[in-house]
């Protein structure tokens, strides 16, 4: 995973996270950004998640899902925690 670059694209009202090869299969969308470090990717995605946008991980990026959940828990006020589901938004 350390040598893989992950990116994301907006597909309708969903943000799809995957490898460049996976994202190339979505001709109607464009890869917005790509990152070698997951923390940089998460930093970019977090404002969208706070706004309620669904974040979906493609199979090549599924290993990032637990890291994303931890990132979201750390970024939310201590009175509650949140994590992103593939069904949408913060919970």
Digit-coded pLDDT (tens) for 57-68: 999 999 999 999
Q: How far is CA 60 from CA 4, 21, 57, 90, in A?
A: 9, 9, 8, 23
Tokens, residue 63 = 């290993």
Tokens, residue 70 = 């931890």
Digit-coded pLDDT (tens) for 8-48: 998 888 899 999 888 888 766 677 888 988 889 999 998 88
The model carries a pTM of 0.74
């Amino acid at each position: 995973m350390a040598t893989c670059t992950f990116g994301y694209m907006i597909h309708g009202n969903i943000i799809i996270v995957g490898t460049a090869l996976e994202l190339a299969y979505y001709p109607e969308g464009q890869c917005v950004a790509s990152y070698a470090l997951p923390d940089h990717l998460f930093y970019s995605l977090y404002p969208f998640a706070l706004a309620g946008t669904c974040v979906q991980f493609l199979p090549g990026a599924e290993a990032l899902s637990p890291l994303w959940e931890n990132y979201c828990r750390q970024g939310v006020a201590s009175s509650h925690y949140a994590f992103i589901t593939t069904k949408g938004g913060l919970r």
